């Protein structure tokens, strides 16, 4: 029997059952009309459970892995899936919903290690990835937030230079606590990223202050861009290290 095929494809069939639905997320999509870019790691073997990285782009089209990421995904046996048509101009509910549906559908189709399901994104996609994880702490175990992130609550502006309200959302206390106990957050940015100050404030005044398992990867000279393989590897290593409860 031939193995699964990497590339742009449909994940046909009914939407998987989603427990504990968030009222702000749209789960009811027609999968026959949706496309996903899926990449299986080199040497993929369906007998053994793989990890999964769901990735959200700020653009509607994202049909390849970022340069340099292949070796990291292969080494860590991670399936990569990027829903299409989830860019910044799409409704937030759709964007988060497609991340959740993609993860659940891949769980149906392949053997996935439930402790190694991560969601990430770049810029606006990273903000949505954070929300999706907080909304579904029973599903996601790590958030890869590249040059963008969100947090359930406002934080004090200390280093932010942008004047807009950025990166916060409302969430019930139960899911905040569940996320704090189960999810790791890797925030990747650098001094040339125009959101650098925002991300520092959210990391320090949000995640760090409130005891979340969070790591700031501050890359010298990094602009508002997708990170390199070195930072991806550092984030994955963080996700797969023991989660230490903070007080």
Closest of 207, 227, 225, 205 to residue 217, by C-alpha: 227
In the numeric block, the tokens 């769901």 are attached to 54
Question: Residue 245: pLDDT above 70?
Answer: no
Going by pLDDT thresholds of 50, 70 and 90, the confidence category of residue 162 is confident
Q: Please compute the mean of the pLDDT values over residues 66-83 and round it to a whole number.
A: 97
The pLDDT value recorded for residue 243 is: 80
Q: Please compute the mean of the pLDDT values over residues 28-36 and round it to a whole number.
A: 95
The pLDDT value recorded for residue 74 is: 97
User: What is the rounded CA–CA span in Å between residue 35 and residue 33?
Assistant: 7
Q: How far apart are the two ends of the chain, measured CA to CA in Å? A: 50
Task: Summarize pLDDT for 134-145 with one digit per residue, the tens.
Answer: 999 999 999 999
Report the SS3 class of residue 187.
strand
The pLDDT value recorded for residue 216 is: 98
Query: What proportion of the chain, given as a percentage, has pLDDT over 70?
Result: 98
In the numeric block, the tokens 């005891």 are attached to 211
Going by pLDDT thresholds of 50, 70 and 90, the confidence category of residue 1 is very low
The pLDDT value recorded for residue 19 is: 84
Question: Residue 52: pLDDT above 80?
Answer: yes
User: What is the rounded CA–CA span in Å between residue 120 and residue 176?
Assistant: 18
- Containing 95, the helix (H) or strand (E) segment is helix 92-109
Going by pLDDT thresholds of 50, 70 and 90, the confidence category of residue 244 is confident
Torsions phi, psi for 165 (to 5 deg): -75, 125
Summary mean pLDDT of the chain: 95
Question: Residue 123: pLDDT above 80?
Answer: yes
Q: Please compute the mean of the pLDDT values over residues 63-92 and round it to a whole number.
A: 97
Classify residue 203 as exposed, middle or buried by CB count within 10 Å of its CB (0-12, 13-18, 19+).
Answer: buried
User: What is the rounded CA–CA span in Å between residue 195 and residue 59?
Assistant: 18
User: What is the rounded CA–CA span in Å between residue 74 and residue 52?
Assistant: 11
Question: Residue 21: pLDDT above 60?
Answer: yes
What domains does the chain contain, in order, with CATH numbers? 7-239 (3.40.50.1820)
User: What is the rounded CA–CA span in Å between residue 76 and residue 164?
Assistant: 38
In the numeric block, the tokens 């040497």 are attached to 43
> Do 79 and 103 contact (CB within 8 A), yes or no?
no
Cα–Cα–Cα angle for 230, 35, 81, rounded to 5 degrees: 25
The pLDDT value recorded for residue 247 is: 57
Task: Summarize pLDDT for 198-236 with one digit per residue, the tens.
Answer: 999 999 999 999 999 999 999 999 999 999 999 999 999
> Do 88 and 56 contact (CB within 8 A), yes or no?
no
């Amino acid at each position: 029997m031939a193995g699964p095929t990497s590339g742009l494809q449909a994940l046909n069939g009914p939407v998987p059952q989603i427990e504990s639905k968030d009222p702000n997320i749209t789960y009811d999509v027609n999968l026959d009309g949706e496309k996903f870019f899926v990449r299986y790691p080199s040497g993929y073997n369906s007998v053994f459970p793989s990890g999964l990285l769901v990735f959200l782009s700020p653009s509607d089209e994202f049909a390849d892995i970022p340069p340099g990421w292949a070796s990291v995904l292969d080494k860590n046996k991670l399936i990569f899936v990027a829903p299409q048509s989830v860019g910044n101009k799409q409704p937030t509910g759709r964007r988060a919903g497609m991340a959740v549906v993609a993860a659940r559908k891949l769980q149906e189709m392949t053997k996935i290690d439930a402790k190694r399901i991560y969601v990430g994104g770049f810029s606006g996609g990273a903000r949505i990835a954070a929300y999706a994880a907080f909304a579904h702490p029973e599903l996601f175990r790590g958030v890869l937030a590249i040059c963008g992130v969100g947090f359930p609550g406002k934080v004090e502006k200390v280093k932010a230079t942008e004047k807009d309200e950025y990166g916060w959302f409302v969430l019930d206390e139960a899911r905040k606590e569940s996320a704090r106990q189960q999810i790791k957050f890797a925030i990747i940015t650098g001094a040339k990223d125009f959101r650098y100050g925002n991300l520092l404030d959210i990391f320090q005044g949000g995640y760090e202050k409130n005891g979340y398992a969070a790591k700031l990867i501050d890359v010298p000279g990094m602009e508002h861009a997708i990170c390199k393989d070195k930072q991806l590897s550092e984030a994955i290593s963080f996700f797969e290290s023991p989660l230490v409860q903070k007080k």
